[in-house]
Chains A and B, each alone.
Chain A
Amino acid sequence: MSDEPLPAALAEIAEDFANLPVPQRLELLLEFSEGLPELPERYAGRLGEMEQVHECQSPLFLVVEVGDEGPDGEPDERPAGERPVHLFFSAPPEAPTTRGFAGILHEGLDGLTVEEVLAVPDDAPFRFALGEAVSPLRLRGMVGMLSRIKRQTALKSQAA
């Protein structure tokens, strides 16, 4: 694994997982699955405009938004790298593992700046001590989500 640091919120989640015995790691993952925010109204029925993560064994769709409004509601004058990133996911309830991965990334990354998201190490999914609990094969879904989040963030911040 690389030595590149995780963003603070993600590092905290990683520590929480690492400090638990394996069966409780699954329980925590289930909590993340249940805590994944609902897709906002404006994306309802518009999965086609979101990106499907094919690395996941169950259908998962995600979309990244890069903020273009400043804290005062005026057009954001900050450089693109300092703007906030927001993440939206859709995955069915019968895919709790996939939802749990999305929940971790949402809690750990939502609201970070473009620069911070782009700096997340690509091996982050392997730092949650989940390999033992869910098997490394299943972790590929989270790798796929993270790479797409970073790609959309890069693309959308250029456009911003």
Chain B
Amino acid sequence: MASDFTQYAHPDRLVSTDWLAEQIAAGKVGTGADDSIALLESDEDVLLYDTGHIPGALKLDWHQDLNDPVMRDYVDAEQFAKVMSERGIGRDTTVVIYGDKNNWWAAYALWVMSLFGHEDVRLLDGGRAKWAAEGRELTKEVPSVTARTGDAAYPVVERDDAPIRAFKDDVLAHLGGPLVDVRSPGEFSGELLHMPDYPQEGAMRGGHIPGAKSVPWARAANEDGTFKSRDELEAIYLTEQGLDPKEATVAYCRIGERSSHTWFVLTHLLGFDNVRNYDGSWTEWGNSVRVPVEK
């Protein structure tokens, strides 16, 4: 069945594997030309790209490229501009991101690019797994892209965190307002301090932020990793959970990657006006002194 993205609030934020394959066949991907599409792979596993990727794709690693190496924060404006310019990306370039694990890290990368106000950044619906499952080409060939320099370079644009990023103090001020906890039920209840089968990432306390609704991120995804239809998403987030697209909403998880996926769903698929991702998430809240915790 052809993907009908027009059902979503911001249909231009998603592309299908068919569409991407057509663009690649038409020679539009990864050439670095002004009208070209930049394709980025962003995975949990830093080597997965190197084992084979979609032709024309470049690697964007959440750890190496988007996180500050010293402070727990994202890269600054200069570094972000450098990361983009090196990949031949300009301010007006259409960027398509895909990745492993149901696009968690792809959604995270899209959210970080949104902090810097990059306008045209989209997700490949279904991510790497869907492309591979359809038997489409993967290659080890790394495209040679000419880095942008001088006037063509990516501009140094200050990050604007306020609209879509929440810090701990913002969450404290928001208590009583709608919060979405996208972790697994065991993490929400406080039984587990980390994802099932994942490393312990050191939270001192288990539970959730008071008043948070438990909506594990995966409920927004189909078996094949694509997003559920708008009707199905509305049934979960609006009808069942009673969230209101007009109300300011905060999403969080463990370190902010799974909640980027939900942030994408609420913001771009359901058209919520004001959703912030609390990237400090449980690894900050669960270690903070005297913040309220509900079990």
Residue numbers of A with Cβ under 8 A of B are: 26-27, 29-30, 33, 52, 54-59, 93-98, 100, 133-135, 137-138, 140-141, 144
Q: Other than the known A58-B45, A94-B45, what 9 A-B pairs have Cβ atoms closer than 8 Å?
A: A27-B50, A52-B197, A56-B199, A57-B44, A57-B198, A57-B199, A96-B45, A97-B46, A134-B47
Residue numbers in B under 8 Å from A33 (CB-CB):
47, 51
List 8 A-B pairs, minimum CB-CB distance, nearest first.
A96-B47, A135-B63, A55-B199, A97-B47, A97-B45, A134-B46, A96-B51, A30-B50
Cα distance A138–B63 in the bound complex, in angstroms: 9
| Residue among A33, A58, A140 with most chain B CB within 10 A | A58
- B77 on the interface (CB 8 Å rule)? no
Taking the closest CB of chain B, its distance from the CB of A84, in whole angstroms, is 30
- B181 on the interface (CB 8 Å rule)? no
Q: How many A-B residue pairs have CB under 8 A?
A: 54
Residue pair A29, B48 in contact (C-beta under 8 Å): no
Interface size of B by Cβ–Cβ distance < 8 Å? 14
Are A100 and B199 CB-contacts (below 8 A) given A135-B63, A138-B63? no
Cα distance A30–B46 in the bound complex, in angstroms: 10
Are A57 and B45 CB-contacts (below 8 A) given A93-B51, A94-B100? yes
Residue pair B48, A94 in contact (C-beta under 8 Å): yes
B48 to chain A: closest residue by CB: A96
The contact of B45 among A59, A98, A140, by CB within 8 Å, is A98
Residue pair A26, B199 in contact (C-beta under 8 Å): no
Cα distance A93–B44 in the bound complex, in angstroms: 14
Residue numbers in B under 8 Å from A94 (CB-CB):
45, 48, 100
Chain B interface main SS type: loop
Residue pair B45, A95 in contact (C-beta under 8 Å): yes
Taking the closest CB of chain A, its distance from the CB of B75, in whole angstroms, is 14
B255 to chain A: closest residue by CB: A137
Are A29 and B47 CB-contacts (below 8 A) given A54-B199, A55-B199, A57-B198? yes
The contact of B47 among A30, A55, A59, by CB within 8 Å, is A30
Taking the closest CB of chain A, its distance from the CB of B58, in whole angstroms, is 13
Residue pair B45, A26 in contact (C-beta under 8 Å): no
Residue pair B46, A135 in contact (C-beta under 8 Å): yes
Residue numbers in B under 8 Å from A52 (CB-CB):
197
Residue pair B199, A141 in contact (C-beta under 8 Å): yes
Residue numbers in B under 8 Å from A55 (CB-CB):
199-200
Residue numbers in A under 8 Å from B200 (CB-CB):
54-55
9 contacts between A and B (CB under 8 A): A30-B47, A30-B51, A52-B197, A54-B200, A57-B198, A95-B48, A133-B46, A134-B46, A138-B63
Residue numbers in A under 8 Å from B64 (CB-CB):
135
Residue pair A100, B197 in contact (C-beta under 8 Å): no
Residue numbers in B under 8 Å from A137 (CB-CB):
63
Residue pair B51, A140 in contact (C-beta under 8 Å): no
B63 to chain A: closest residue by CB: A135
| Residue among A26, A55, A59, A98 with most chain B CB within 10 A | A26
Cα distance A98–B46 in the bound complex, in angstroms: 10
Taking the closest CB of chain A, its distance from the CB of B122, in whole angstroms, is 23
